[in-house]
Amino acid sequence: MQKAYKIRIKGIVQGVGFRPFIYKLAKEEKIKGIVLNDTEGVIIYAEPGSKPMDSFIEKIKKEKPPVSIIDSIEISEKNFEGYKTFSIEKSRLTDRRAAFIPPDISMCADCEEEFFSKADFRHHYPFITCINCGPRFSIIKDIPYDRINTAMDAFPMCSRCRTEYEDPENRRFHSQPNACSRCGPQLTLYDSNKNPIIDKDAGRIAEFTFNKLQNGSIVAIKGTGGYLLAVNAEDDDAIKRLRILKGRAFKPFALMCGAIDTIEDFLHVSEKEKELLLSRERPIVLLRIKKKKVSKLVAPGLTYLGVMLPYIPFQHHIFSLEKDMVLIMTSGNISEEPIAYDDEDAFGRLKNIADYFIAYNREITAPTDDSVMFAIGDEAYFIRRSRSFVPVPFKSVTSKKHLIATGGDIKNSFALAKEDIIILSQYLGDLAAPSGYELFDKMFHHFQHLYDFSPEAVIADMHPGYYTTKIADKLEAEGLKRINVQHHHAHIVSVMEEHKLNDEVIGISFDGTGYGTDGTLWGSEFLISTRRDFLRAAHFDCFPLPGGEKAIYDVWKTGISLLQKAFGNDIPLMSKENNKDIILDMIEKNINSPLACSIGRIFDGTAAILGISRSISAEAEAAMLLEEAAIKGCSEKIKKNAFVIPYSDSNTITVSTSALIKYIVETINKGYTIEETAFMFHASIARTTVEIAGILREKYSVNRIALCGGVFQNKLLLSLIRESLTNNKFDVFINNHAPLNDGSIALGQIAIGKSLL
C-alpha cells in the first residue's frame, strides 16, 4: 500500500532556508508531496512510495540548514493523495502563534565570496545576506517572520532580487533581508554634526574610515544591534581620548581582528577558543595575551583581552584594507548606559565621543550588544548573552500558564515561558538610570508582542529596591499572580534548568550581593536546593558594608570594614587610609552599613587590603585585578598548603570571614608578596569551598553541585574549585548557556515559577 505521512517540525525553522532544504532533500530521496510554513513551524506531506521514511528523517536532523534549530519532529500517518512531484506551497496561518524567531547571524562564506568578487552584482554591498546569514532578531517587528513584518518593509525588492527570492533553487529563496545596492539599505558617512560626507559609496566610506582610524579618529559604526565605537587599538592617544569621553577609566575594551592568524599571533588561542571565535555567532572571546601588540590602555593591568572576528560585511570590508590591523570595537554608549541603536539617539548621545558616524537607513527594532564568552578547557561560559544567541529558546517542561520573570537589576535579562520553551531576553545592562528603564520597558513589551504573550503570573527578585521588583508590583496590581524568588536560589535553579536537574542539588552561589530572606545581603551561599525551595546550609560570616550595595565602587571602605571585623578599630595595613575614622564610626554607629556576606565584596575588600585597588570605576574591577595578581603568584606549593578557613559546626555552617582576613594579613607580615598572598586567598577559598561541599554531601546525601554567580567569572577561582570538586567525585554543573552572572537570574526565576504554579 502507498504510505503518506504528515511531518510537523517545530523550532527555528523559518527564515533559515528550511523549506528549500526539504525540497532538495525530498527530490534526492525521491519523495513526493509538499512542504509549507505555518505559524507553528514547518509542515511536510510526504509520500515515499513503499520506501521507509527513516533515511529522510535522519537526513533532516543531520543535514538541516546551519542556522536552524529543530525543537521537535512529529510524524503521523495520513491519507494518500498521490502527489506527482514535490513542491513548496504557500504559507498558511493557524490560530496558534508559536513562532521561533531566529537570531542575527554573521555573514556566511558564500556571501563573503560574493562581497569581495568584482564580478558580483553585490560587490562591496554592505547589506548582502542570504538565507544562511544576516539580520533577523534585530529587524523583526512582528510574526510571522515575513518581509512586511520587518524593518526591510521599507525596501521593495528590485526585479533581480525578487527573482532570487522566488526561486526555490536559489540561496536567497524567501530570504527576508534580501537586497542589493539598487533596492536595499545604504550607508552614509556623517561628521559629528550629522553633515553627510559620503553617501552610498561603501568603497569610499570604508577607505575614509580606515584612513581616519589610522589617524586616531573615533568612528561610530552602526552594526547589527547598535552603534559600535571603533578606534585603532595600537594608538595610545586615541584610546586615552575614548576612555575620557566614554567615562570609562578601567573597563577593558573589546577588540576586533581581521583574521584568526592575527589573533593567534598575539593571544593564546586553544582549540575550543578558536571554535568559539570562528563560530557563526562570532562572540567576543576572552584570551590570554601572548605578546604585546595593542596598547596597554585597551585593558589596563589585565592579561586577558576580549577579541572577536568581523561579522557584518562592512567590518570585513575595513579589515580587507589592512589584514593585520587591530581595532577596538566597543558598545556605543557612555559608561553603563544601554547601547545606542536609534540614529537620532546615537547622534545625540555619541556626538561628543565620535568624530564620524557611519549610519544606514534601516531601523534596528531590538538592540543587541556583542556576546561575551570564555573557555576553560573544553567548556565555554557566557559573560554576556546577546547578539546571535538571543532569542534562541531554552527547551523546558510544558507550563500551563504564560509566565514572565523580570530578572535582576544588574546585567538584566528578563524571561518568558510559554508551552515548552523559555525565551531569555538579550542583555539589557544595569537598570540604574532612566535610559535603562526605558529600554527594559520597550523590550519587555516587544517580546510579549512578538511571542503573542499574555502573562498570567510574574516572578521577580525579593529585593525591595529593584526596578524589576516595581515592574512586578505593577503587574500584580493589574491582577497577575506574583512570586518572589530569592536571588541565589534563582542562580542555582538556572543551572538546574539548563542541565535538566530535577533532584536536590548543593547549590554554591558566589556572587556580588543579593537580597536574603533575613534582610541581609547574601552572596556566599551553599543552598540545599530544589526547584521549589531551599535550605541555607552554609555561608561566610556577615560583615558591615559601609555605604551599602551602592558603594561598591569604594572598595577601600569594604577593606576597612573587613579589617575592623577581624582586628577591631586598631586596624593593620590600612591604618593610614585618610577617611578611615569616618568609616569606623559609620560601622560603630551602624549608619548605612547593612550586613553582607558576599564573596564578591570579600574579593573587593581584600584587593583594597593588599593595596591593589582603592576606588574602582567598574563593577568587579578590584576582583579582576586581584585575580591577575593571583595568576602571577600562583604556585603548586601554595595550592597544596592552602589554608582551610575555620567554620562553625552549627546547623547553618558559617565560614569565618575574620579568620580569612587575619590569614591574609599574617601572610603579608610573613613576607610573602602581594601576588603570592592573592593566590593564597584564592586557593583558601577554593579549598574551604570543597571541604564544606564534602560536609554537606555527607549531611544531606547529595552529590550534585550547581556552581553559579558572578564571582565564577573569575577564571582562576572557577578552575580551582571545579577541578577539586571533580577530583573529589562530585557531579559538577554550571551555567553553559546562560551567563554566570545575574544575566541568568530570570531563567532561574521562571523555572522556579514553573515548578510552583
Nearer to Zn ion, 67 or 608 (CB): 67
- What, of Fe ion, Zn ion, none, does residue 183 touch, CB below 5 to 8 Å by kind? Zn ion
As a whole number of angstroms, the longest Cα–Cα distance in the chain is 93
> For residues 525 and 531, is the Cβ–Cβ distance under 8 A?
no
Establish if 152 lies at the interface with Zn ion (CB under 5 A). Answer: no
The smaller minimum CB distance to Zn ion, of residues 186 and 509, is found at 186
Of residues 208 through 267, those in contact with Fe ion by CB under 5 A are: none
587: partner contacted, choices Fe ion, Zn ion, none (Cβ within 5-8 A by kind): none
Answer yes or no whether residue 161 interacts with Zn ion by CB under 5 A: yes
CB of 318 to Zn ion, least distance (A): 19
- In degrees and rounded to multiples of 5, residue 457 shows phi and psi of -145, 150
Under rule CB under 5 A, residue 549 binds Fe ion: no
Binding partner at 182 among Fe ion, Zn ion, none, C-beta below 5 to 8 Å by kind: Zn ion
- Least Å distance, CB 108 to Zn ion, is 3
Quote the cell numbers at residue 427.
542583555
For residue 267, the 8-state DSSP code is B
Our finding on whether 742 is near Fe ion (CB under 5 A) is: yes
Nearer to Fe ion, 455 or 516 (CB): 516
Residue 180 interacts with Zn ion (CB under 5 A)?
yes
Is-contact 495 381, C-beta < 8 A? no
Q: Which stretch of DSSP H or E encloses residue 422?
A: strand 415-424
Closest approach of Cβ 361 to Zn ion, in Å?
A: 15
Q: Pick one of Zn ion, Fe ion, none as the site partner of residue 530 (Cβ within 5 to 8 A by kind).
A: none
Decide: is 182 part of the binding site for Zn ion (CB under 5 A). Answer: yes
Residue 742 contacts which entry, Zn ion, Fe ion, none (Cβ below 5-8 A, type-dependent): Fe ion
What does the alpha-carbon distance between residue 483 and residue 706 come to, in Å, rounded to a whole number? Answer: 23
- Work out whether 525 is an interface residue with Fe ion (CB under 5 A): no
Cα–Cα distance, 510 to 718 (Å, whole number): 10
With CB under 5 to 8 Å by kind, the binding choice for 131 among Zn ion, Fe ion, none is none
DSSP string, 550-589: GGGG-HHHHHHHHHHHHH-SS-SSSTT-TTHHHHHHHHHT
Restricting to residues 584-623, name those near Fe ion by CB under 5 A.
none
Work out what residue 511 binds among Fe ion, Zn ion, none; the CB cut-off runs from 5 to 8 Å by kind.
Answer: Fe ion
Q: Is 480 helix (H, G, I), strand (E, B) or coil?
A: coil
**Rounded to whole angstroms, how far apart are CA atoms 82 and 64?**
26
How many residues sit close enough to Fe ion to count as binding (CB under 5 A)?
A: 3
Report how far residue 688's alpha carbon sits from residue 539's, in angstroms, rounded to the nearest whole number. 11
- Measure the CA–CA gap between 287 and 306, rounded to whole angstroms: 6
Secondary structure (H, E, C), 595-610: EECCHHHHHHHHHHHC
Is position 183 an interface residue for Zn ion (rule: CB under 5 A)? yes
Pairing of strands 227-232, 326-331: antiparallel
Q: Report d(CA 398, CA 716) in Å as an integer.
A: 38
Question: Which residue is at the shortest CB distance from Fe ion?
Answer: 511
16 binds, among Zn ion, Fe ion, none (CB under 5 to 8 A by kind): none
Give the separation between CA 747 and CA 393, rounded to whole angstroms: 11
Is residue 329 a contact partner of residue 215, using CB atoms and an 8 Å limit?
Answer: no
Which position among 69, 70, 73, 158 is part of the footprint of Zn ion (CB under 5 A)? 158
Q: Which does 328 bind (CB under 5 to 8 A by kind): Fe ion, Zn ion, none?
A: none
Size of the chain in residues: 757
- Which residues, numbered 455-514, are part of the site for Fe ion (CB under 5 A)? 511, 514
Closest to 581 (Cα-Cα) out of 546, 531, 616: 546
Judged by beta carbon, residue 728 or residue 736, the one nearer Fe ion is 736
Residues 91-120 that bind Zn ion (CB under 5 A): 108, 111
Q: Which residues are catalytic?
A: 19, 37
Helices 621-633, 715-727: axis angle to 10 degrees equals 60
Backbone angles phi, psi at 285, to 5 degrees: -120, 135
The residue among 161 and 256 lying less far from Zn ion, judged by its C-beta, is: 161
Is residue 134 a contact partner of residue 322, using CB atoms and an 8 Å limit?
Answer: no
- Closer of 111 and 472 to Zn ion (Cβ): 111
Does residue 587 touch Zn ion according to CB under 5 A? no
Shortest Å, Cβ 523 to Fe ion: 7
160 versus 474: smaller Cβ distance to Zn ion: 160
Reported as type and span, the H/E element at residue 285 is strand 284-288
Least separation in angstroms between residue 167's CB and Fe ion is 50
Query: Among residue numbers 503 through 522, which ones bind Fe ion (CB under 5 A)?
Result: 511, 514
CB of 336 to Zn ion, least distance (A): 34
- Shortest approach of Fe ion to residue 744 CB, angstroms? 8
- 743 neighbors 733 (Cβ within 8 angstroms): no
Handedness of CA 319, 325, 326, 329 (dihedral sign): negative
Instruction: Select 80 or 121, whichever has its Cβ closest to Zn ion.
Output: 121
**Is the CA virtual torsion 145, 146, 147, 149 positive or negative?**
negative
Site map 692..731 versus Fe ion, x via CB under 5 A:
----------------------------------------
Binding region for Zn ion (CB under 5 A): 108, 111, 130, 132-133, 158, 161, 180, 182-183
Binding region for Fe ion (CB under 5 A): 511, 514, 742
